[in-house]
Amino acid sequence: MVQSIEQLKLTATVLRKRILSTAYYKKQGHVGGSLSCADILVSLFFHHLSIDPSNPKWEDRDRFVLSKGHTALGLYATLALRGYISEEELKTFDQYESRLQAHPDMTKLDALDMSTGSLGQGLSAAVGMAIGAKRLKKGFDVYCLIGDGESQEGQIWEAANIAGKYKLDNLIVIMDQNGLQQYGWKNDHGRMKPESNGKRKFDSFGFETWEVDGHCMEDLIDVLTEVKSIRNGRPKAIIANTTKGKGVHFMENNYVWHSKAPNDEEYILALTELEKRG
C-alpha cells in the first residue's frame, strides 16, 4: 500500500485518535511517545515498507523493530489501521494473555519481528537481522525505531559500532528525538533533552546520517526514499525531531504524558483538537 502525502497526513491523524481512544479505553499506555512517532510509523507502514499484512511472515519483507518498545500502543494502532489486526482487537491492549502485550511480544503476534521492552536491545537484534540478510543475499532492509532517552543505554552504541564494522547499508535506524524521557533531569525550562548529539554520534560510528522534521510527512517520505536508494556500505541513521505528545497541545512537551491515559475531559478535548486538524 502506497498512500499519497495527503492520505498519509489523514492516516496519521486517525492513528493519533486510535492511540488516544485505546489509552482512554484501557486507562493506560505510553501516549506521549506513541504520538511523537505516529508520523514516522505512518510513513513506514503506509508508504515505505515492503510488507504484506495478509502474509506477516513473508520471508522477503522489510523488517521493523520497535526498540522503544514501550510505545507498543502506537505500533498496535498502526497495525490495526494497516489491516494486521482488527480495530476491535485494539481493545485488548495491555490485557492479560492478549496478543497486544504492554510491550511487543513476537511470540504472541505474528506481525512483530522482534520482542522488545527492555530498552537498548532492539537495535542489536536489527543489526543481527541486517547481517543475516547480507549473508543470505536477501534484498530486504531492516528498520529500527529507537528513542532518544533509550540512547542513554550503552548497548545502542555497541550495536552502532558493529553496524559500521559490518558495513550494514541495509540497516536504517530512526531516532524518535522527542526531547523527553520518563523523568530525566530538571533544568530551568522544565526537563533536559535526553539527547542532542544523535546525528554527530551516529556519524562517528560510520553511519550516513540525516536530520528531519519527524512530523513533516513530505520530509519523512523524501528522506526514506533517498535512504533506500543509497547502497554505499554505510548504515543509515535518520534523526527525526519530534514533539512528545504531538497533536494534543496540553500533552505536548510535558514529560508527565510519557505514560498516562487521558480522563474523560482530557479525552474529549484531545479528540476535538484532532478533529479540527483532520
Binding site for other proteins (CB under 8 A): 63, 105-107, 113-118, 120-133, 135-136, 138, 154-155, 158-159, 161-162, 165
Any bridge partners for residue 210, and if so which?
Answer: 238
Tell me the residue type at 263: N
What is the smallest separation between the CB atom of 132 and other proteins, expressed in angstroms?
4
70: left (phi over 0), alpha (psi -120 to 50) or beta: alpha
Closer to other proteins by Cβ: residue 3 or 161: 161
What is the smallest separation between the CB atom of 66 and other proteins, expressed in angstroms?
13
Helices 154-165 and 122-135 cross at an angle (nearest 10°) of 20
Checking 181-186 for CB contacts under 8 A at 24+ apart, the result is 181/147, 181/148, 181/149, 181/152, 181/255, 181/258, 182/149, 182/255, 182/258, 182/259, 183/255, 183/258, 184/149, 184/255
- For residue 268, give Cα distances in angstroms to 16, 45, 162, 259, 272: 13, 28, 47, 18, 6
Closer to other proteins by Cβ: residue 106 or 271: 106
What is the smallest separation between the CB atom of 115 and other proteins, expressed in angstroms?
5
Cell numbers placing 137: 543475499
Number of H helices, E strands in the chain: 9, 7
Maximum Cα–Cα distance across the chain = 54
What is the smallest separation between the CB atom of 147 and other proteins, expressed in angstroms?
16
Closer to other proteins by Cβ: residue 143 or 257: 143
What is the smallest separation between the CB atom of 72 and other proteins, expressed in angstroms?
14
Closer to other proteins by Cβ: residue 118 or 196: 118
Closer to other proteins by Cβ: residue 103 or 193: 103
What is the smallest separation between the CB atom of 240 and other proteins, expressed in angstroms?
22
Closer to other proteins by Cβ: residue 135 or 276: 135
